[in-house]
């Protein structure tokens, strides 16, 4: 029904920057929130950032506040994650997710659709 495709991952040195994109296609809801999550091998999937439909509300994990910025272009059905000052601990597979609600959420269980993930590797 809804397909999400992430792009922009790759290898970057610590202190560098990277911008992830996630495009939604298929049947999208009228007003939907979007989020970014990440998962390292052997660890749980962690919340990173979320944004509501109107862009009036954003949430960030404490570990990325001040370094990451979530944004969206509703006309393009695309959400972005700008990552600056990257550190080794940011290494993970990053997933975008869509929630069939206009209200943003930090809980992975509240999202209805997920992308395939894109690998981000930060090197020293």
pLDDT 10s digits, 31-85 = 999 999 999 989 999 999 999 999 999 999 999 999 999 999 999 999 999 999 9
Q: What is the pLDDT of residue 75?
A: 92
What is the pLDDT averaged over residues 77-104?
A: 97
pLDDT band for 20, please (50, 70, 90 cuts). very high
Q: What is the pLDDT of residue 90?
A: 97
**pLDDT surpasses 80 at 29:** no
CB atoms within 10 A of CB 9: 17
Q: What is the pLDDT of residue 49?
A: 98
**pLDDT surpasses 90 at 1:** no
Alpha-carbon span 100 to 69, nearest angstrom = 22
Contact 96, 2 (CB under 8 A): no
Q: Nearest CA to 70 among 21, 119, 105, 27?
A: 21
């Amino acid at each position: 029904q809804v397909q999400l495709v992430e792009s922009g991952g790759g290898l970057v040195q610590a202190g560098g920057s990277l911008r992830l994109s996630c495009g939604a296609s298929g049947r999208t809801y009228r007003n939907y929130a979007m989020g970014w999550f990440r998962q390292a091998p052997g660890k749980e999937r962690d919340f990173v950032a979320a944004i509501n439909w109107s862009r009036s509300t954003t949430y960030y994990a404490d570990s990325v506040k001040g370094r990451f910025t979530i944004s969206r272009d509703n006309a393009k059905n695309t959400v972005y994650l700008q990552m600056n000052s990257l550190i080794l601990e940011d290494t993970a597979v990053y997933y975008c997710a869509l929630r069939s609600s206009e209200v943003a959420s930090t809980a992975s269980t509240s999202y209805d659709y997920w992308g395939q993930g894109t690998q981000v590797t930060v090197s020293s």
